[in-house]
Amino acid sequence: MYVRAPFLSYPRYLWCNISISELLLSFLTYTHLRMRIDLHNETVNIHSHLGGALLFVILLCTFPQVYLVHYASTTWVDLTVFTIFLSSAVFCLFSSAFYHTFTVYSREVSARCNALDYSGIVVLIVGSFFPCIYYGFFCDMHFQAMYLSVIGLAGIGAAYIVLNPEYRKPTHRGARTKVFIALGLSGVVPISHAYITHGFYKLCYEMGFGWLLTSGALYIVGALLYANRIPERLSPGTFDRFFASHQIFHVHVVAAALAHYACILTAFDHWHSRLAECPT
């Protein structure tokens, strides 16, 4: 069975947003399947990222046939960096949908699902860098290796922080958001380097930097709305089922990942339309 309950009747481990006054509480395993259909405050959270995960599965399966076959200069590395990004998006979005579906089951299940959700965010951020660094420094493997190593270590550090039981508490929502944003902004150094190397016009109009800026803006705006509980904090109870900050954040994440995909496709086309030739 499942019931709708006021905030103060929630189990304490679900006290994550006092501005959401109603929650669907589920007690039997089979009802979680119904949670994907029934209308409640987690419906948008579940479906937005479950649908997003399925979309990126389609992109992952179709990329080789749709894009790789058009250029004779493509290699296994192109397939690998795109697979890393698209797989990381699938993992992140599916982990999020899984968390929102099963978190109400018990404290223990909630903690594990929560850790899976945060792991997915770190994986998506780090995975997003692989194609960007590869195409941004297409002709310099040393910088590729250096930047990916640094970002990989930063991802491990971020995961260590956000997966710490202390930082998984609702009271540390702002701190977690700052860690995720800081991990994303670790790309400022390689982007600045690419700007110096390629110049503004080439970076923006030939290598998709505009899409990358759009992606970053969507992530940051969505994360800030989520961290500050806007708009539900301004009108508690009004956004219980639709347009809450977490739902807005979910939509921003899917849109940002798609913008990032557009960015790396542009960079992919840029290099391979030139037959992947590097200046001598």
**Hey, what amino acid is at 253?**
V
What burial class does residue 62 get, using C-beta atoms within 10 Å of its C-beta: 0-12 exposed, 13-18 middle, 19+ buried?
exposed
246 annotated as ligand-binding? yes
Would you state the structure tokens that stand for residue 47, as one six-digit string?
């479906």
Tell me, rounded to whole angstroms, the distance of Cα 32 from its chain centroid. Answer: 24
Tokens standing for 249? 């954040």
Q: Pick from 13, 36, 44: which is nearest to 240 by CA?
A: 44
Please report, as a single letter, which amino acid is at residue 177: T
Token readout for 177 is 């958001």
Please state whether 4 falls in left (phi above 0), alpha (psi between -120 and 50) or beta: beta
Cα distance between residue 29 and residue 37, in whole Å:
15
Cα–Cα distance measured from residue 1 to residue 231, given in angstroms and rounded to the nearest whole number: 31
* 100 known member of a binding site: yes
Helix (H) or strand (E) holding 113: helix 107-136
According to the annotation, is 49 in a ligand binding site?
Answer: no
Task: Give dist(CA 217, CA 267) in Å, integer.
Answer: 19
Cα–Cα distance for residue pair 85/159, rounded to 1 Å: 18
Binding site for Zn(2+): residue ranges?
Answer: 100, 246, 250
